Structure 1
Amino acid sequence: MRILMIAATAAAATTLAACETVDSQPTQRSARAQQSFDKALAGKVAGKPESCLPLQRSNDMVVIDDDTIIYRDGRTTYVNQPLGGCNNLGNGSYALVTRSTGSQLCRGDIAQVRDMTAGITVGSCALGDFVPYRPAS
């Protein structure tokens, strides 16, 4: 039993390490997604990335594409780029489902892409940092 637990821990560590390796290339968006992204951030400047976002700030969510999720909280817009992308999220007919045990969404939290009509999971991803964009002073 102990050997199995060690093997499972090693496999999990390897998987997490693989998630940390994020392609540093800029996200390639469709023209429509880029237009939505630019509109959401117009007149705003990026702040220091935050590892967590309080749940009360995550109520107004907009999916730009598989690689970009925007959360709006008043005048602040948070951009999250899931680690390695979030397959099928940009489809438009699916929902992003997150489960939190605490009061925050954090980097590394697993989100599921679900077909709510069929009740099945069609993808998943790990959330990245939350980069706040605030109006330029």
Structure 2
Amino acid sequence: MTRSLTLTLLAAATLSACTQTPAESARAIQDAAATQLALDKELAGLVPTGNRLTCLPPLPSAHVEGYGSTLVYSVSSRQKYRTETGGGCEGVGRGDILVTTSNGGRTCQGDISQTIDRTSRFPTGSCAFGPFVEYRRP
């Protein structure tokens, strides 16, 4: 009886430690709204072309920015590519390095990337790319 009560209390304590407080929930909502606002600003003035690519075309150079689980490859102020990941590469938004191992030299849907902390050089996460949506200035 004492053992089952101890296990029950331990399980309850573990579950309560995983529950967000109202303040933490409010902060998460604020962070998500700020991330969405930054993404909207990044893509302002651009429209999706309707092209959903499985691989990025060869790019002379592209800058990558992270917005939550969304990554945006900026080719120029007139052309960008957006991809949704399954999460795990949110560190790109705070300046982590994105390292992508690609087969065939192109970045493609399903490729797995890893994020690396700029200072410590330790891995901070990993994710897989979704399809790439092209955005252009009309």
How does the TM-score come out when normalised to structure 1? Answer: 0.66
Asked whether the 8 Å contact 1:63–1:89 carries over to 2, the reply is yes
Q: Which residue of 2 aligns with 1:98?
A: 100
| 1:53 equivalent among 56, 67, 83 | 56
Secondary structure of 2:110's aligned partner: coil
Counterpart Cα distance in 1 of 2:46 and 2:88: 25
Q: 1:73 to 1:59 in 2, by over 3 A?
A: closer
Displacement of 1:114 after TM fit?
Answer: 1.3
TM-fit CA distance, 1:108: 0.4
Counterpart in 2 of 1:35?
A: 37
d(CA) in 1 for partners of 2:131, 2:60 = 14
| Aligned residue runs from structure 1 range 14-25, under 5 A | none
The answer for the alignment partner of 1:80 in structure 2 is 83
Equivalent in the alignment of 1:62:
65
Flag structure 1 segments of 5+ consecutive residues without an equivalent.
1-27
Give the secondary-structure state (helix, strand or coil) at the position aligned to 2:40: helix
Contact 2:56 2:108 in 1 (8 A): yes
Would you say how many aligned residue pairs link Structure 1 and Structure 2? 107
- Write 1 or 2 for the structure with the bigger share of helix: 2
Which amino acid in structure 2 is aligned with residue 123 of structure 1?
A: G
Q: CA deviation at 1:50?
A: 0.5
On the 8 A contact 1:77/1:133 being kept in 2, the answer is yes
The ranges of structure 1 where at least 4 consecutive aligned residues each deviate by more than 6 angstroms after the TM superposition are none
Greater Rg by CA: 2
- Aligned sequence identity (%): 37
Give the RMSD, CA atoms, in angstroms. Answer: 2.2
